């Protein structure tokens, strides 16, 4: 019997990436950054329980949808995060291949996924896809705006950056 989990579905990863860029069209994200934001979309309770936030942000975080769900299956966040890397990358590659996203630092020959700088192109989404993306963003309004607003405003690298505060990636050797 096959059990479906959206975390391991590259298509769902692609939808989530599109949700991020649809909410904030001018968004430019490092690949690593996108992975972390994506992780927060998947497991909103992670934001409230494990991410170090300022008091005002914490108060806003409490209002997020699904922030208290029990059966998300998340026990070890860093382990889950690394397990998801391939799937998320795959989803993003699909979007790159279909021209919906583009990378902005092609001066480097072969940057790793994490080092890529991603942004949304002008091409339109197919109607059905657009429907799904808008609908999910609407029903999780506070979650998506917190992730693309508050979390994006936190500097990504270095001490007290998003990497540090989520504890999902190494930050100590970041050259800022």
Judged by CB under 8 A, which of 6, 52, 58, 83 binds other proteins?
A: 6
Task: Tell me the helix, strand and coil percentages in the chain, rounded to 5.
Answer: 55, 5, 40
Is 138 a binding residue for other proteins by CB under 8 A? The answer is no
Q: Are 51 and 30 in contact (CB under 8 A)?
A: no
Judged by CB under 8 A, which of 117, 119, 129, 134 binds other proteins?
A: 129
Q: Are 22 and 137 in contact (CB under 8 A)?
A: yes
* E strand segments, 27-106: 28-30, 101-103
Is 12 a binding residue for other proteins by CB under 8 A? The answer is yes
- How many binding residues for other proteins (CB under 8 A)? 30
Minimal distance, residue 159 CB to other proteins, in Å: 35
Q: CA end-to-end span of the chain, whole Å?
A: 48
Q: Restricting to residues 55-74, which ones interact with other proteins according to CB under 8 A?
A: 66, 69-73
Note the residue count of the chain: 176
Is 48 a binding residue for other proteins by CB under 8 A? The answer is no
Is 2 a binding residue for other proteins by CB under 8 A? The answer is yes
Cα–Cα distance measured from residue 7 to residue 95, given in angstroms and rounded to the nearest whole number = 17
Is 98 a binding residue for other proteins by CB under 8 A? The answer is yes
Cα–Cα distance measured from residue 130 to residue 18, given in angstroms and rounded to the nearest whole number = 9
Minimal distance, residue 115 CB to other proteins, in Å: 17
Minimal distance, residue 6 CB to other proteins, in Å: 4
Residue 150, Cβ density class (10 Å: 0-12 exposed, 13-18 middle, ≥19 buried): middle
Minimal distance, residue 1 CB to other proteins, in Å: 6
Minimal distance, residue 127 CB to other proteins, in Å: 8
Residues that bind other proteins (CB under 8 A): 1-6, 9, 11-12, 14-15, 66, 69-73, 93-94, 96-100, 125-126, 128-129, 132, 136
């Amino acid at each position: 019997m096959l059990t479906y989990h959206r975390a391991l579905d590259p298509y769902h990863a692609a939808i989530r990436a599109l949700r991020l860029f649809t909410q904030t069209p001018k968004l430019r994200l490092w690949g690593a950054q996108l992975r972390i934001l994506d992780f927060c979309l998947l497991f909103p309770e992670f934001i409230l329980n494990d991410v170090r936030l300022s008091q005002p942000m914490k108060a806003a975080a409490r209002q997020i949808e699904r922030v208290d769900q029990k059966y998300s299956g998340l026990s070890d966040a860093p382990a889950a995060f690394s397990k998801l890397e391939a799937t998320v990358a795959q989803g993003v590659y699909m979007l790159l291949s279909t021209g919906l996203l583009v990378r902005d630092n092609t001066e480097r020959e072969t940057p790793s996924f994490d080092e890529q700088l991603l942004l949304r192109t002008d091409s339109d989404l197919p109607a059905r896809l657009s429907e799904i993306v808008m609908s999910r963003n609407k029903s999780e309004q506070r979650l998506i705006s917190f992730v693309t607003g508050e979390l994006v405003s936190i500097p990504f690298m270095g001490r007290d950056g998003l990497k540090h505060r989520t504890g999902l990636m190494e930050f100590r050797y970041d050259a800022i």
